[in-house]
Structure 1
Amino acid sequence: MMFFTGCTKHGREGRAGSVCLGSPCVCAGHNASRDVVTLVKSILFHRRNPLHFHFITDTVAHRILSTLFQSWMVPSVQVSFYDADELKSEVSWIPNKHYSGIYGLMKLTLTKALPSNLSKVIVLDTDITFATDIAELWGIFQKFTDKQVIGLVENQSDWYLGNLWKNHKPWPALGRGFNTGVILLYLERLRRLRWEQMWRLTAERELMSMLSTSLADQDIFNAFIKQNPVLVHQLPCFWNVQLSDHTRSEQCYTEVSDLKVIHWNSPKKLRVKNKHVEFFRNLYLTFLEYDGNLLRRELFGCPSQATPESIRLQTSLEDLDEDDQCYDFRRERITVHRVHLYFLQYEYTPTEDDVTLVAQLSMDRLQMLEAICKHWEGPISLALYMSDAEAQQFLRYAQASEVLKNRKNVGYHVVYKEGQFYPVNLVRNVALRNANTPYVFLADVDFLPMYGLYDYLRAVVQLDMAHTKKALVVPAFETLRYRLSFPKSKAELLSMLDMGTLYTFRYHVWTKGHAPTNYAKWRTATTPYKVEWESDFEPYVVVRRDCPEYDQRFVGFGWNKVSHIMELDAQEYDLMVLPNAFMIHMPHAPSFDISKFRSSPSYRNCLGTLKDEFHQDLSRKYGSSALKYLTAQRNI
């Protein structure tokens, strides 16, 4: 659920009817965080006032939503978080059969959970879609009488009438009862009424005969209202059009244009039956796939409070020279991309010798995921560069895949598209930062690891990797065949290499990228061997998770991995080639970025400029020892 609070233009909590708004929400887990985003989009699309979101979250949702809002950078939006674990004891004693579990009871705790200086809030379930400005709903507080403390819409099903089936015995309610998907709560008055004691007494009394709640907090709110009807303000039904089973929501409106809030309050969600369900579904899907970057617009007449991040960004933009031929490249480096961590459920507890495969991809590489999961049974951290609409396509793909839907140790992190370049190193860094194992295998998604590589690497990293700076090189090969009988051993791979079924990676077009691996030595090696850095070396490596991040000035095609290996060398990592490990690149159509690199002289010129600047920065950072990189580059 979500809450909204009034604010003055200075951001303080204000009286009912003030011109600015704010908002709070209860959210737990990965799936709920996705629902919250769709709700927030629908609110931001219509709003003309500042907002303050208050989220009661578990640890997972806190991490996801805090990262999302920090990277979203929507003007005139504040966000506060409260720990759900600290509130569980308030409601865990209540037996509850509702599918929302303990989180479905937490609306009862809001007078305690939220700051004492908040006098009013709007509380929303996450399965809500707004079709109007939430300021209209906030304005209803002005219609409360002096005694009213709760604003609710009547329940649109016969649940509380007790006639749905034989022996159906619901909790007590006033008439049809009220639905708690949308609530106006006058916190200040509730606290004066000693709400915490009152709802507890109500719950204890009813549980003696009912034994458990069926509809979570809604049962307790309704039992309380039955005893205290003067405290409720009935909202017009279009503020909570309920699409659950057994509802008569069509009776509460004449035209769909009259609707304000649509509530998908059924486990069936978009599959509910309603004569206007196509209209409702299309409205929901519009916000589901809506480009969230468009919601970063400034509000007219209500100046936003500048955050340190927005000030830094603005200063960086002003420092750029728009006449610079590489302006677009430099702008990309400081662009802040929205990031939605753990887009799907992730459950994994690492061990001391654990290794996460780290990679990034876009929509055109989606077909590689199932194969990688079959080759690598360990944890994976994937950053996906996608639009809002593509993220939903990915979600449908993953949920339909027998391979992917059964893997809970794959962390999917969506980096939303913006700008004209693929920010490949920024996307890599998102995947790297969110690996939760001591070691990481820095790979690309178009490579398949050898079978058993995960177990092999877990054994190898135990050999003093924890206390030394080592980058373990996994030799890279490639096939030009779309169908390959994947080698099951090094011996089989060498045979395929001799027959011309496989090649050393980029042998035909970019030999320098992997030549220092010394494939001739690898053929007979039985123990790891050290190789020296050479210009343009870009192997795939296993390192400690605390390794340097990728340099984000490199976007699109060119030098994105080369610069990273160079920095590892500058930090005196030993490059050690593993004798019994390999990975194979699978063929695919060339990326849009490599096509731009090949066809655009200005693109190649700017990449050269960025290389020079990177060398200079490396020299400043690591001193005279880094001069060898500049010398090597000039000798090419």
Structure 2
Amino acid sequence: RLGTTAVNSCLLNWDLRSCRGFGIPNVLPASCSLSERNEGFLLVRDVNVLLIFLQPIVAWIPNKHYSGIYGLMKLGLTNVLPANLSQVIVLDTDITFATDIAELWAIFRKFTDKQVIGLVENQSDWYLGNLWKNHKPWPALGRGFNTGVILLLMDRLQRRGWEQMWRLTAERELMSMFSTSLADQDIFNAVIKQNPSIVHQLACFWNVQLSDHTRSELCYTKVSDLKVIHWNSPKKLRVKNKHVEFFRNLYLTFLEYDGNLLRRELFRCPSQTSTGRQRLQRMLEELDEDDQCYDFRRERITDHRTHLYFLHYDFTDNMDEAGVTLVTQLSMDRLQMVEAICKHWEGPISLALYLSDAEAQQFLQYALASQVLRNRRNVGYHIVYKEGQFYPVNLLRNIALKQVNTPYVFLTDIDFLPMYGLHQYLRKSIIQLELDSEKKALIVPAFETLRYRLSFPKSKAEVLSMLDMGTLYTFRYHVWTKGHAPTNFAKWRTATTPYKVEWEADFEPYVVVRRDCPEYDQRFVGFGWNKVSHIIELDAQEYELMVLPNAYIVHMPHAPSFDISKFRSSSLYRKCLRTLKEEFHQDISRKYGSTALKYLTLHLVRNRL
């Protein structure tokens, strides 16, 4: 979060007429494509690549700071950054900008011939050694300097032999200090102590430090004095400071900013249009703004900002040949289902969440407060940021599907709770039915309850009992029977082995397939036909539909979604959906030839009736 806010506050305050570069180590998703908008940008697409080069440079240094090895990596920047970069500003991720960074760039012009580093004086008494008895800090010039904001003249650093300079200093001091306490900052200060002429002291408001022992209030008397706020306490936003509420509100302002503001054509620096941008422009020009269904067609080509793996994910099991991941998507109003699903499904999960920037922070707080979610490392959360008026359901499904790293996927919806033990049952079924060598889609029968509080069935026998008692129903039996009727629930009641069913019009079961299955058709947004179209394509590719006899999921009740309300109330919405269905049938017929004629023929016959 702090890293995202640092970027947001910098860019939203930035007057880009200066056209200076900005390096972002994987804070913004690749879909932002900032490097495509401005040749001055240096966008590091994968911070892991940078870390691979930096780690061996500093790994030998013992460090007690909570940042670990990452807190030392600024020392090695001259080894990894391009040689043509002469001026570099290095920022900690826990800073918030309150002014235009162009003002900071301008300070390079004030450097004397000997100065190579710009720093703000440290605003605590740490390096004076008087914080507690027997406190022995690393050597520093006076109060020392803080490395949360650094200006570097790279060409001069190279000429001064920076790498040898800091290495020799670190080796010498470590003989008596044994480890660093403040990571790279200790080594920077030890170098400056020996070479005071290399530092250009920045005004204190360029790094207002909120550490535990700070004296930063001496630095500012009014809001306009603030340039950069540095949350350099391990407590971060919970630090004790008499002005912390003001600083926290400023931080939250940038945290919840609509990130789409950073994608608008406010970027006035000259740049060449990327191939992707050109393609998008051509697609926009092909749309007819007088088309009644323009909004539907425009949604299909919207380039949503995406933040993959929003929270820590650590699951790789390449040895599990029957591994299966639950794949689904949701919006903020279904967030409570995530914890419930995690209690029912112990296997890996890939979730695409459709959220605003502010909602993403609410989700973060929810996830961090939940013991169930905190304890899971095999759930991939992928944020797709809101844009446009429709819920891009199939885009979300495809994003979640693409991030799966198991051979198989269980494609479901967020409102369904899987039976306890479904993950292991599916793994066994995958092996028994030889999905590795045959095109099969395993159907998990779907039921529903109208009760918000349900004693969840623990076995098929309990499901059958609850069906007889009217506590459970087959899914949508009273609203959309066609959607699941081909599952043949009457046969399922007595089945003990998987059985084959045939595709029928409007069939939309929840299935287990190989992860290389067809993607969902993204023309379908909001409500209607988003799953039906996918099952049609599975059938067109000759997938065999097999119903599992001892598997089930239960749909939990909820308020109608905004999109289904629009479908029910808007005749134009329904008309556009019919148009999209017709176009889909034409496209599927062209794609699969005679195999797909039955879908088009059936569609035309039904339209005449």
Q: TM-score, normalised by structure 1?
A: 0.92
Structure 1 residue 250 and structure 2 residue 220: aligned?
Answer: no
Structure 1 residue 274 and structure 2 residue 241: aligned?
Answer: yes
Letter in 1 for 2:521: D
Q: 2:332 aligns with which of 363, 366, 372?
A: 363
Worse overlay, 393-402 or 553-562: 393-402
Q: 1:69 — aligned with what? A: 32
Q: How does 1:171-182 map to 2 (within 5 A)?
A: 171-182=138-149
Structure 2 SS opposite 1:461: helix
Distance across 2 between alignment mates of 1:279 and 1:65: 26
Q: 1:10 — aligned with what? A: none
Q: 2:229 — aligned with what? A: 262
Q: How does 1:176-191 map to 2 (within 5 A)?
A: 176-191=143-158
Structure 1 residue 403 and structure 2 residue 367: aligned?
Answer: no
Structure 1 residue 476 and structure 2 residue 443: aligned?
Answer: no
Distance of aligned partners of 1:546 and 1:300 in 2 relative to their CA distance in 1, 3 Å threshold? closer
Q: 2:552 — aligned with what? A: 582
Distance across 1 between alignment mates of 2:211 and 2:280: 45
Shift of 1:65: 4.4
Work out whether residues 29 and 307 of structure 2, in 8 Å CA contact, stay in contact via their aligned partners in 1. no
Structure 2 SS opposite 1:381: strand
Q: 2:384 — aligned with what? A: 415
Shift of 1:297: 2.2
Shift of 1:275: 2.4
Q: 1:125 aligns with which of 92, 102, 120?
A: 92
Worse overlay, 64-73 or 517-526: 64-73
Work out whether residues 72 and 296 of structure 1, in 8 Å CA contact, stay in contact via their aligned partners in 2. no
Structure 1 residue 377 and structure 2 residue 346: aligned?
Answer: yes
Q: 2:6 — aligned with what? A: 39
Work out whether residues 448 and 556 of structure 2, in 8 Å CA contact, stay in contact via their aligned partners in 1. yes
Work out whether residues 68 and 341 of structure 1, in 8 Å CA contact, stay in contact via their aligned partners in 2. no
Shift of 1:156: 0.3
Q: 1:226 — aligned with what? A: 193
Structure 2 SS opposite 1:198: helix
Structure 1 residue 389 and structure 2 residue 358: aligned?
Answer: yes
Work out whether residues 348 and 379 of structure 1, in 8 Å CA contact, stay in contact via their aligned partners in 2. yes
Q: 2:491 — aligned with what? A: 521
**1:80-135, CA deviations, whole angstroms, 9 ceiling, x for partnerless residues?**
34421122111110000111111111100011110111111000000011111111
Distance across 2 between alignment mates of 1:118 and 1:308: 26
Structure 1 residue 620 and structure 2 residue 583: aligned?
Answer: no
Structure 1 residue 199 and structure 2 residue 166: aligned?
Answer: yes
Letter in 2 for 1:276: H
Q: 1:427 aligns with which of 387, 392, 396?
A: 396
Distance across 1 between alignment mates of 2:210 and 2:150: 17
Distance of aligned partners of 1:302 and 1:550 in 2 relative to their CA distance in 1, 3 Å threshold? same
Structure 2 SS opposite 1:361: strand
Distance across 2 between alignment mates of 1:80 and 1:389: 25
Worse overlay, 590-599 or 406-415: 406-415
Shift of 1:602: 0.3
Q: 1:79 — aligned with what? A: 43
Q: 2:77 aligns with which of 107, 110, 114?
A: 110
Structure 2 SS opposite 1:440: strand
Q: 1:458 — aligned with what? A: 427
Distance across 2 between alignment mates of 1:480 and 1:598: 21
Letter in 1 for 2:569: S
Q: 1:88 — aligned with what? A: 55
Q: 2:519 — aligned with what? A: 549
Distance across 1 between alignment mates of 2:184 and 2:396: 41
Distance across 1 between alignment mates of 2:137 and 2:257: 40
Q: 2:278 — aligned with what? A: 311
Distance across 2 between alignment mates of 1:426 and 1:572: 24
Distance across 2 between alignment mates of 1:449 and 1:476: 9
Distance across 1 between alignment mates of 2:36 and 2:391: 20
Work out whether residues 71 and 339 of structure 1, in 8 Å CA contact, stay in contact via their aligned partners in 2. no
Shift of 1:54: 3.0
Letter in 2 for 1:501: T
Q: 1:354 aligns with which of 323, 342, 357?
A: 323
Work out whether residues 38 and 269 of structure 2, in 8 Å CA contact, stay in contact via their aligned partners in 1. no
Shift of 1:68: 4.9
Work out whether residues 37 and 272 of structure 2, in 8 Å CA contact, stay in contact via their aligned partners in 1. no
Distance of aligned partners of 1:439 and 1:613 in 2 relative to their CA distance in 1, 3 Å threshold? same
Shift of 1:634: 2.4
Shift of 1:71: 9.2
Q: 2:418 aligns with which of 449, 457, 480?
A: 449
Distance across 2 between alignment mates of 1:441 and 1:630: 28
Q: 1:342 aligns with which of 297, 303, 309?
A: 309
**1:505-544, CA deviations, whole angstroms, 9 ceiling, x for partnerless residues?**
0000000000111111111111111111111110000111
Worse overlay, 64-73 or 397-406: 64-73
Distance of aligned partners of 1:455 and 1:629 in 2 relative to their CA distance in 1, 3 Å threshold? same
Structure 1 residue 237 and structure 2 residue 207: aligned?
Answer: no
Unaligned runs of 5+ in 2: none
Structure 2 SS opposite 1:157: coil
Letter in 2 for 1:80: V
Unaligned runs of 5+ in 1: 1-33, 57-61
Q: 1:6 — aligned with what? A: none
Q: 1:324 aligns with which of 291, 305, 308?
A: 291
Structure 2 SS opposite 1:357: strand
Distance of aligned partners of 1:242 and 1:204 in 2 relative to their CA distance in 1, 3 Å threshold? same
Distance across 2 between alignment mates of 1:78 and 1:510: 52
Work out whether residues 32 and 263 of structure 2, in 8 Å CA contact, stay in contact via their aligned partners in 1. no
Work out whether residues 73 and 296 of structure 1, in 8 Å CA contact, stay in contact via their aligned partners in 2. no
Structure 1 residue 502 and structure 2 residue 472: aligned?
Answer: yes
Distance of aligned partners of 1:411 and 1:300 in 2 relative to their CA distance in 1, 3 Å threshold? closer
Work out whether residues 206 and 227 of structure 2, in 8 Å CA contact, stay in contact via their aligned partners in 1. yes
Q: 1:566 aligns with which of 528, 533, 536?
A: 536
**1:249-274, CA deviations, whole angstroms, 9 ceiling, x for partnerless residues?**
10011212211111111111111122
Q: 1:609 — aligned with what? A: 579
Work out whether residues 157 and 176 of structure 1, in 8 Å CA contact, stay in contact via their aligned partners in 2. yes
Distance across 1 between alignment mates of 2:56 and 2:36: 34
Shift of 1:72: 11
Distance of aligned partners of 1:192 and 1:78 in 2 relative to their CA distance in 1, 3 Å threshold? closer
Work out whether residues 313 and 378 of structure 2, in 8 Å CA contact, stay in contact via their aligned partners in 1. yes
Distance across 2 between alignment mates of 1:334 and 1:505: 32
Structure 1 SS opposite 2:234: coil
**1:124-178, CA deviations, whole angstroms, 9 ceiling, x for partnerless residues?**
0000111111111001000000110000000001110011111110000000000
Q: CA RMSD in A?
A: 1.5
Shift of 1:55: 4.7
Q: How does 1:157-176 map to 2 (within 5 A)?
A: 157-176=124-143
Distance across 1 between alignment mates of 2:454 and 2:34: 41
Distance across 2 between alignment mates of 1:324 and 1:628: 29
Letter in 2 for 1:67: A
**1:173-203, CA deviations, whole angstroms, 9 ceiling, x for partnerless residues?**
0000000000001110000111111110000
Distance of aligned partners of 1:75 and 1:188 in 2 relative to their CA distance in 1, 3 Å threshold? closer
**1:272-293, CA deviations, whole angstroms, 9 ceiling, x for partnerless residues?**
1222211111110001111101
Shift of 1:53: 3.6
Work out whether residues 171 and 210 of structure 1, in 8 Å CA contact, stay in contact via their aligned partners in 2. yes
Distance of aligned partners of 1:600 and 1:78 in 2 relative to their CA distance in 1, 3 Å threshold? farther
Distance across 2 between alignment mates of 1:339 and 1:517: 36
Structure 2 SS opposite 1:560: coil
Q: 1:593 aligns with which of 563, 568, 576?
A: 563
Distance across 1 between alignment mates of 2:268 and 2:308: 33
Distance across 1 between alignment mates of 2:589 and 2:370: 48
